[in-house]
């Protein structure tokens, strides 16, 4: 039910972004400030994290602490790369282009949509980091595999949402 509810929230943000594309009376506009290059690297990192979490979940079920730590560590690192990359993108948009949340409709919808997604990535990173710590302390057992798998579903959901957000903002919305 959580993922269904979150899907509706994201759908609302995506629809608002699409509706308001090009309706800002003043600049900057998406085509003027959004760069695809750095975001592609962030996207590759986030999508790769959906791959690295799969062997992490399998390692939990096998009770292989070393593999859990390695694969989950890779997943966390890739997710953190995405968050840092998003922060650097925002910094550049603010400092070089003067785009803030209240600048215009584009700024409002862009930061709301990307920020809402980034918040979900951070929540996922917190959950994954907790699992990593439990594993490192020897507290994660094979019987916890189903719980870890549920967290991985959330992570896959966040990655799937990013595909929609990336396509909407950086491909269609430019």
| Distance from C-alpha of 42 to C-alpha of 80, rounded to nearest angstrom | 10
9 falls within a domain: no
54 domain-assigned: yes
What CATH code is carried by the domain that includes residue 103?
A: 1.20.120.80
For 138: left if phi > 0, alpha if psi spans -120 to 50, otherwise beta; the answer is left
Q: By residue range, what is the domain housing residue 113?
A: 36-172
| pLDDT over 90 (residue 154) | yes
**Beta strands per DSSP E along the chain:** none
What's the number of domains the chain is made of? 1
- Has residue 23 been placed in a domain? no
3 in any annotated domain: no
> In this structure, is residue 28 part of a structural domain?
no
Asked whether residue 80 is assigned to any structural domain, the reply reads yes
Q: Would you say the pTM of this structure is higher than 0.85?
A: yes
**81 in a structural domain:** yes
| Residue pLDDT, tens place only, 26-72 | 889 999 999 999 999 999 999 999 999 999 999 999 999 999 999 99
Residue 151 included in any domain:
yes
């Amino acid at each position: 039910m959580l993922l269904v509810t979150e899907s509706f929230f994201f759908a609302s943000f995506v629809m608002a972004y699409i509706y308001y594309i090009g309706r800002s009376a003043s600049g900057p506009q998406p085509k003027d400030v959004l760069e695809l290059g750095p975001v592609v690297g962030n996207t590759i990192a986030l999508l790769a994290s959906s791959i690295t979490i799969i062997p992490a979940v399998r390692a939990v079920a096998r009770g292989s602490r070393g593999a859990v730590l390695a694969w989950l560590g890779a997943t966390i690192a890739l997710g953190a790369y995405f968050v840092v990359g998003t922060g650097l993108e925002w910094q550049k948009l603010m400092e070089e282009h003067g785009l803030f949340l209240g600048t215009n409709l584009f700024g409002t919808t862009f930061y709301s949509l990307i920020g809402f997604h980034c918040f979900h990535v951070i929540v996922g990173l917190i959950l994954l980091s907790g699992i990593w710590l439990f594993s490192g302390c020897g507290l994660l057992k094979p019987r916890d595999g189903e719980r870890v798998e549920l967290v991985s579903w959330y992570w896959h959901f966040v990655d799937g949402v990013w595909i929609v957000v990336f396509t909407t903002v950086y491909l269609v919305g430019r």
